[in-house]
Structure 1
Amino acid sequence: MSRQPRAFRLDDPNVAGGSIEVIEEPFDAIEAADGVVVPMSERRRAPWTGILLSALSGLLVLGLGLTLQNLIVELHAVAPWLGWVALALVVMAAFAFLALVWREVAGILREQKIEKLREAAIDALAVKDHKAAKGIVGDLANLYGARSGSAKGRARIKELTDEIIDADDRLAIAERELLAPLDAQAKRAIAAAAKQVSLVTAVSPRAIVDVAFVIFAAVRLLRTLARIYGGRPGLFGFLRLARAALNHLAVTGGVAVGDSLMQQVLGLGLAARISAKLGEGVLNGLMTARFGLAALSVCRPLPFIREEVPKIGDVAGELVNRAEAATS
């Protein structure tokens, strides 16, 4: 006859069987973190460049303030009302300058928040940190809280807040509910930019027009992707994003030589089989799409967990199809 299970305390004197040894199993986070290399912090150097720029900026501000003061005094000496008008204009310019500074700071802080979310998600996935994953999902829901299209996803995430879910599963749910629709928008924006660049560079009469339009399209695409994922970059925030996207593009291989679609394009010999301008337009469009994918990875607040990483074929496959149709 089988014995029914029952509960008992380890310090119960009625428990027989001699000494009991309790072995605590290691946490998943400790097991996952075993062998992870901890990077050493870089040696800090004196910020001489920052000190130089700060000093020069201070001198320029002092010089500008003195110039404006002298201008107001001179205008007031000519006619008092001119002095008051000049003073009012200076005050308006100061308020506008402060608003621009605040917008730049707010944009940079928002971008840093997105970057920290992505880095925290990578760390949480690496060590299976359930608590950190729960906090990341909450921050992500707050990031998109003002968007009407994410209400359903936020409601679904709120239902699972107190559920016991693995870190990767919790982040994957947030990715599917909140980021999957944004990924679709981003891929459509990249595809539209690639087509536009391909068309304009194929019909433009001058190379300088090609270069100017490619740069303009890349700038506009980067701003569009940043807004899709919740960023609002100003000038300096945009420059940070552009540098990060170019660095990501360099790290991931530039033109993605290993991509099957790129091999297909190079194998077609477009410049030889069709007109040189059409081949140039196709390749410019593909490079725009490649830059867009790098910018997507930089602007996205989470790494790709369960969603498929977009490739050039997902956003620019029609370009090659057009080239193949032209050669047939």
Structure 2
Amino acid sequence: MSVTGGLDGATTNVTSRTAPTGAEVLTVAVIGDYGWTGWIPSPDKFCFDVLPRLQAAGITVPNEVVNDCDPGDKQYITNATALQMDTSAYVGQICAMKNCSAFLSVGDNFYDSGVDFTTSGLLRFQAAWVDMYTQGVFKYAPWYQCLGNHDIVPGQPGVDFQTKVAPMYDDRWYFNTSLYYNPYTKACHNDTQTQIDFLSNTFAASNATWKFLQMHHPYRSAATNETDLGPLIEIVIQHQGIVMNGHDHCMGHFFSNNTNFILSGAAGYPQAGDCNNGTAPGPYALYLGANNLTGE
């Protein structure tokens, strides 16, 4: 999907290190939950026979290996890969028409178990992102990234790859803050005040016409509301911002506390159930795009 907003300033050519300020209109594409291409699931023999015995014996199995045994994702990998390709082509066509200045990712950039600094990780990054988003407007427009739950499966090595290595590999790939440079997972949850302070100070200091919070998990959704995000959402409400997220594999527009919540999470594998099959579950669901046959 694309989002258009008004900003002050002159039109400029942008890179991943330069904010895409426009004239009176700025159009960006929001795309999430997309990186299926190149993922090879764990073999069925391992998942159904060996893994249970390892776990019963108390042998530690890496998170990424367990994740690559997910039966639902193994079932949908073929369709998800094809739909990622179709959706990327469609987004490219729409952005060529609308003159998109940038792309905004809302996480889960690499299914099923993220990528890390290995040869296989480099090959996945090349196949699922560099080669996937290469034509037309994709060639010069920067991407502003965030991490999803699948991206952090490898732990700190996965976070480091996406935030430190990938930006050197392709200049369009960009993380704007250093919040993810901390030892991850537990430390992240133990230091949420750092993120709260960062968002509060940044929003307060900004003179932008439109202010967006870009994140992966939803605070308002047709599936599961992540209420632990409340402190961040309070800041967005205070500054009349807009929330953009993924995670749910569908498209939606929610409105609560005078705030818009935009969901764009079906760029690879749409699941109608994540948007309650198109039926509004409460008063804050304004639009639900629930189609199992196409991406968004």
After TM superposition, the score normalised by the length of structure 2 is 0.27
Q: Which has the higher strand share?
A: 2
Structure whose alpha-carbon radius of gyration is higher: 1
Q: Which has the higher helix share?
A: 1
After TM superposition, the score normalised by the length of structure 1 is 0.25
